[in-house]
Chain A
Amino acid sequence: SYVLTQPPSVSVAPGKTARITCGGNNIGSKSVHWYQQKPGQAPVLVIYYDSDRPSGIPERFSGSNSGNTATLTISRVEAGDEADYYCQVWDSSSDPWVFGGGTKLTVL
């Protein structure tokens, strides 16, 4: 089955740029979606189809996908961005939906 690998944690100072990676075999050939989950809350879609932003999501959130790595970039990080972030793809083998293990973003 397809595997997505995320770093367990990423730390960044306020106002800086956070980059959260999602690794997978030839992930650039797939569409990657990103979810933000704050403690005790349901996940929220922040990026879909690699780089599209749903309405209401700040422009500070952006995504890219190439080769074996997809990246969620959060510019001008704020304290309110502290959350777990999950990447997800649709895969034609075994389970159609695959989630990465999640990355905890800490704002220093």
Chain B
Amino acid sequence: QVQLVESGGGLVKPGGSLRLSCAASGFTFSDYYMSWIRQAPGKGLEWVSYISSSGSTIYYADSVKGRFTISRDNAKNSLYLQMNSLRAEDTAVYYCARTDSSGWYSDYWGQGTLVTVSS
């Protein structure tokens, strides 16, 4: 069965950096787009970024553009999100999600990892 397990969350000071990872299993990772979606405490869902199956196509939300970098390693069945210049408003649960080949929706989500940006 499809499994997505995020890791790397934690407490970081404003201006700091963090790298999230997502380990995928139960499907052919290299066949799928992958996405990061976040949810601030008590708030709705906010899309962050997605990457095509080969890594050649990448999109970012305006709110993270220039600060976050998405990447993947198909040999390791892993997805990453490098987050720099973190702000308090980046505080959220970050979900890794398998995304359809058009990049239009996500059919499986991980359980998420909490990122807290606070001094």
Give the B-binding residues of A (Cβ under 8 A).
Answer: 31, 33, 35, 37, 41-45, 48-49, 54, 84, 86, 88, 90, 94-102
A-B contact pairs, 30 of them (CB 8 A): A31-B104, A31-B105, A33-B104, A33-B105, A37-B45, A41-B111, A42-B95, A42-B109, A42-B110, A42-B111, A42-B112, A43-B45, A43-B95, A45-B105, A45-B107, A45-B108, A48-B100, A49-B105, A86-B44, A86-B45, A88-B45, A90-B104, A96-B50, A96-B59, A97-B37, A97-B47, A97-B50, A99-B45, A99-B47, A100-B44
Chain B nearest Cβ from A29, distance in angstroms? 14
Interface size class of B (residues with CB under 8 A): 20 to 34
A45, B35: Cα distance in complex, Å: 14
Q: Which residues of B contact A48 (CB under 8 A)?
A: 100, 105, 107
